[in-house]
Amino acid sequence: MSKHGKRCAVLDSFYITTPIYYPNAPPHIGHAYTTVFADVLARYKRLCGVKVFFLTGNDEHGLKIQKTAEKLGKTPKDFTDEMAEVFKSYWRSLDIQYDYFIRTTDTNHEKAVKEAFNYIYKKGLIYKAKYSGLYCVECEKYYSPGEYVEVEGKPYCPLHNKPLEYMEEETYYFKLSDFKDYLLDVLRNRDIVVPRSYSEEVSSKIENEGLRDLSIARPIERVWWGIPVPFDDKYVIYVWFDALLNYISAIGYGGDHSLFNEYWSSVHHVIGKDILWFHTAVWFSILRALDIEPPRKLIVHAFLTTKGAKMSKSVGNVVSIEEMLGRYGSPDGVRYVLMRIFNMDKDSEFDFQLLDSIYNSELADTYGNLVRRVGVLALKKLRGKVYRRSIDPKLRDELNSKLNAYIEAMDSFDVSRAATMAMDIARMGNQYLNDSKPWEKSDPSKELYTAMEIIRLSTTMLAPFTPRSAKSVSTAFGFEVGNPIKYSVEVVERFNVTDAPVLFKKISVSKKG
Ligand SMILES: [Zn+2]
């Protein structure tokens, strides 16, 4: 085993989650950005031999869904049933291989939420009191002074650019303020939030502004589409409280705990930075109140933007998944280009010109071209039988160092860098062919075996990004996509090439975004 065996073996299970999505409209590329990222990490871990549980799903309760369904003349239940199928079909179209699709209307989930609510109530951390304030219907949250913006002297939601509504009601509060010391300790001393800058952002917000108790119920006459407060049927539980608990209800909290015991300690939440506060201050406190450890990792990414604004339906700047699939011809193409611009710290501007050039120069001209060239040569020169030969040690070292950099990048969730390492290897393969000119030789066994090994390595590294291509290349050339951390050269005795697939057709480059 290589020296990297240890790094991956730290976890023998890997639980990865996406946020659960509001199904008020079909998913767009912004959702795909998050979900493909989680899928790439899940596939990588599976390749490493780790037991993976990959969770995604829909957040189906709350006023927004209730209103959307009403507008369509449907019941929220019928509407969310339909939308669950819509989301699943989009995830299929992008080859998202989740293990469980949770819906917050699932009976198990509702039971778990009630149980958690009761548990926290009995600990004295939930109380009833009056609340008044400014509320955003879209966010389904109250805004305090300093949190909202003013437009022509009126308070507006900073995210939705819509006026806030004044609201007054009796509600149930969660004693978030009790958790200040705990949160500051966890955020500062435990290495949970990735990248770390987000952890500092939250801890300084807590330090500077303090923590206010959080309203976690809504009167049923305003919001009836939700989980009832277990001991007070005049209220339903606030959607965020309901939604966050999906991460534990999905693995059996409130029921059979065997999956929970197996997976909770390795949970990796993937989120966009807009929901950072709820996933740190609120979620870590709820977990603490439930006597559950905070997540192992919270991986935060920046936004995919168009013209500088976060891609969102309300802003009206979304790119559809269909458009991307149509343009790049396969889920592999879409997945790859999205992950090449993936960034945790900085927003990535969505630009078709840039994506087209990544697609053409990397997938079509570099990796696809290498596979096609070598496949054709192997068939023509060696009738598809490529026997083991020794590989130039200098080249082997170079390949290994790229592989090491790839593993390091993947283990720190830097998928863009990992993809670049895989592509560098394919580029080395093309260069090697240009230099060694196997087509001029009567027996190019050594050159073609070397090239096949380069293809096997780059295909293995690309497999989490481009699973379909990995399958067709490994089938056409007769090898298995194995565990990248156990990779070593010259183990394949004979490649049996039966086809030289064309993986990615070049597309004509667009003039504008
Ligand atoms: Zn809002």
Q: What is the 3-state secondary structure (H, E, C) of 283-327?
A: HHHHHHHCCCCCCCEEEEECCEEECCEECCCCCCCCCCHHHHHHH
CA of 136 to the centre of ligand 1 (A): 5
Question: What is the dihedral sign for C-alpha 107, 18, 313, 241?
Answer: positive
CA of 3 to the centre of ligand 1 (A): 49
CA of 162 to the centre of ligand 1 (A): 7
CA of 185 to the centre of ligand 1 (A): 30
* Residue type for position 424: D
Is residue 83 within 8 Å of residue 58, measured between CB atoms? yes
7 vs 17: CA distance, rounded Å: 21
408 closest CA partner among 17, 39, 2, 46: 2
Question: What is the dihedral sign for C-alpha 58, 62, 64, 70?
Answer: positive
CA of 39 to the centre of ligand 1 (A): 29
Tokens linked to 213: 């108790």
What are the helix (H) ranges across 178-328? 180-189, 196-209, 239-244, 246-249, 258-263, 276-277, 283-289, 321-328
83 vs 93: CA distance, rounded Å: 15
236 closest CA partner among 245, 246, 226: 226
Distances (CA, A) of 35 to 55, 269, 278, 323, 459: 10, 11, 19, 17, 22
- The count of residues in the chain is 513
CA of 163 to the centre of ligand 1 (A): 9
Question: What is the dihedral sign for C-alpha 379, 382, 386, 392?
Answer: negative
Is residue 422 within 8 Å of residue 332, measured between CB atoms? no
pLDDT (tens, 9 = 90+) of the chain, 513 residues, equals 344 444 444 568 999 999 999 999 999 999 999 999 999 999 999 999 999 999 999 999 998 899 999 999 999 999 999 999 999 999 999 999 999 999 999 999 999 999 999 999 999 999 999 988 898 877 777 888 888 999 999 999 988 889 999 988 899 999 999 999 999 999 999 999 999 999 999 999 999 999 999 999 999 988 999 999 999 999 999 999 999 999 999 999 999 999 999 999 999 999 999 999 999 999 999 999 999 999 999 999 999 998 888 888 778 888 999 999 999 999 999 999 999 999 999 999 999 999 999 999 999 999 999 999 999 999 999 999 999 999 999 999 999 999 999 999 999 999 999 999 999 999 999 999 999 999 999 999 999 999 999 999 999 999 999 999 999 999 999 999 999 999 999 999 999 999 999 999 999 875 544
Tokens linked to 501: 């697939």
119 vs 320: CA distance, rounded Å: 42
CA of 318 to the centre of ligand 1 (A): 18
CA of 469 to the centre of ligand 1 (A): 41
Q: For residue 123, report the phi and psi dihedrals to the nearest 5 degrees.
A: -80, 0
* CA 424 to centroid of chain Cα atoms: 24
What are the helix (H) ranges across 97-223? 107-122, 180-189, 196-209
pTM: 0.93
- Which pLDDT score, from 0 to 100, does residue 131 have? 84
- Which pLDDT score, from 0 to 100, does residue 511 have? 56
CA of 305 to the centre of ligand 1 (A): 18
SS3 483: coil
- Which pLDDT score, from 0 to 100, does residue 141 have? 76
* Residue type for position 336: Y
Q: Which residue has the tokens 């390949």?
A: 399
Q: For residue 397, report the phi and psi dihedrals to the nearest 5 degrees.
A: -65, -40
- Which pLDDT score, from 0 to 100, does residue 513 have? 42
CA of 87 to the centre of ligand 1 (A): 23
- Which pLDDT score, from 0 to 100, does residue 319 have? 93
Q: Which residues are catalytic?
A: 28, 31, 136, 139, 157, 160, 310, 313
- Which pLDDT score, from 0 to 100, does residue 10 have? 52
251 closest CA partner among 84, 35, 102: 102
- Which pLDDT score, from 0 to 100, does residue 6 have? 42
* Residue type for position 477: F
Q: For residue 370, report the phi and psi dihedrals to the nearest 5 degrees.
A: -60, -45
User: Looking at 104-174, which runs of residues are DSSP E strands?
Assistant: 126-136, 141-143, 149-151, 154-156, 165-174
Tokens linked to 470: 């990995």
- Which pLDDT score, from 0 to 100, does residue 510 have? 58
Is residue 34 within 8 Å of residue 301, measured between CB atoms? yes
- Which pLDDT score, from 0 to 100, does residue 139 have? 77
| Helix (H) or strand (E) run with residue 149 in it | strand 149-151
